[in-house]
Amino acid sequence: MIQSIQKVSEMKEAMKGKDFLTLAEFSTEEIHYLLKEAVELKKLQKQGIPHEELKGKVLGMIFEKSSTRTRVSFEVAMLQLGGHALFLSSKDIQLGRGETIEDTAQVLSGYLDGVMIRTFGHETIERFASASSIPIINGLTDTHHPAQILADLLTIMEHKGELSGLKAAYFGDGNNVAHSLIEGAAKVGMHFTIACPPGYEPDEAIVSKAKEVGKETGAVITVTVDPFEAAKDADVIITDVWASMGQEEEQEAREGVFEPYQVNEELCINANKKYIFMHCLPAHRGEEVTSEIIDGSHSVVYQEAENRLHAQKALLKLLLKS
């Protein structure tokens, strides 16, 4: 027990001040501890017990991409933790325009206790973090969406009681959500299959690294073009929009390519009878998922959305707390 307490203390100390750019940069133990903290913080909120552990702390939130869930969840998270969140639109600051990314990072490091960034290129957030002296959190880039996947793992754990050994299947584009799901599943020992059309596969380097991690955790990572193969016996069915933000001009062309990967009743009949359906939202009903599925008894999309708040509170608490 003493060794266990000491290990937790060392892990918490190691996470303090750390950047959160991808799930690949966090250990299995750290991810599980974040989820444990999220469960406890959710209980406190539901019971109406104050937990202002970041009193006096200020989080800057830089948005180059618009958002509903990311902005509201991070802002409310800081408020409930006793801190403050400062919204910084890319239209109102000099990030990457009249001032270098590195200069902006160093200036904001003198004002704030942490920065959450929702942007396009992943290189932007990497450059920002390399020049910053405060924790930088990835609210979304074109390559990764780790904050969302923390909430997804929390949701799966709440419904299934465990993560290791489960089978999750994702249908659609090998995008930022898919990349972070691959990384998260590998870390927690959850089997993960992504079904996508040729030419839309996830990044090979991310898949390869996740497979190596899976050798240690027991996770099997699979990429296939067959949606019915992916759905077979799945405990978790996941999808995302076919054209992400910034890909709107590809929408019509993608609809024809991705139609066989729609999550519908015919596909889900192959899944475990007690499967849960997840979508990070917003959803395009009738495209990547039918209304019968997203509004059906297996759907947990609104709990998943709420869990953004609780997972991010855990993240903020552990990264920003003095």
101 and 38 in one domain? yes
277 and 193 in one domain? yes
Give the count of beta carbons closer than 10 Å to the beta carbon of residue 56.
10
135 and 264 in one domain? no
178 and 43 in one domain? no
Active-site residue identified among 69, 118, 144, 310: 118
CA distance 155 to 273: 18
Asked if the structure places residue 202 within a domain, the reply is yes
Active-site residue identified among 254, 280, 298, 312: 280
Count up the domains in the chain and report the number: 2
Task: Please say if 71 is a catalytic residue.
Answer: no
Task: Please say if 233 is a catalytic residue.
Answer: no
Active-site residue identified among 80, 148, 262, 312: 148
231 and 204 in one domain? yes
Task: Please say if 262 is a catalytic residue.
Answer: no
Asked if the structure places residue 207 within a domain, the reply is yes
191 and 63 in one domain? no
Task: Please say if 97 is a catalytic residue.
Answer: no
Per-residue pLDDT reduced to its tens digit, 147-190: 999 999 999 999 999 999 999 999 999 999 999 999 999 999 99
Say which DSSP state 238 is in: E
153 and 276 in one domain? yes
Asked if the structure places residue 28 within a domain, the reply is yes
218 and 132 in one domain? no
215 and 69 in one domain? no
Say which DSSP state 163 is in: -
274 and 192 in one domain? yes
Active-site residue identified among 80, 240, 254, 268: 240
To which residue do tokens 């708040």 refer?
Answer: 309
The per-residue pLDDT for 1 is 40
- Tell me the three state secondary structure of residue 277: strand
Task: Please say if 51 is a catalytic residue.
Answer: no
CATH of the domain at 157: 3.40.50.1370
The per-residue pLDDT for 20 is 98
Active-site residue identified among 144, 145, 254, 279: 145
Q: Which domain holds residue 260?
A: 148-304
Per-residue pLDDT reduced to its tens digit, 237-259: 999 999 876 677 788 889 999 99
**Identity of the amino acid at 57:** K
157 and 288 in one domain? yes
69 and 19 in one domain? yes
Asked if the structure places residue 271 within a domain, the reply is yes
Asked if the structure places residue 5 within a domain, the reply is no
Task: Please say if 127 is a catalytic residue.
Answer: no
Higher pLDDT, 5 or 279: 279
pTM greater than 0.85 (yes/no): yes
Cis before 135 (ω within 30) = no
Active-site residue identified among 69, 308, 310, 312: 308
Per-residue pLDDT reduced to its tens digit, 55-99: 999 999 999 998 999 999 999 999 999 999 999 987 778 775 678
The per-residue pLDDT for 2 is 43
Asked if the structure places residue 105 within a domain, the reply is yes
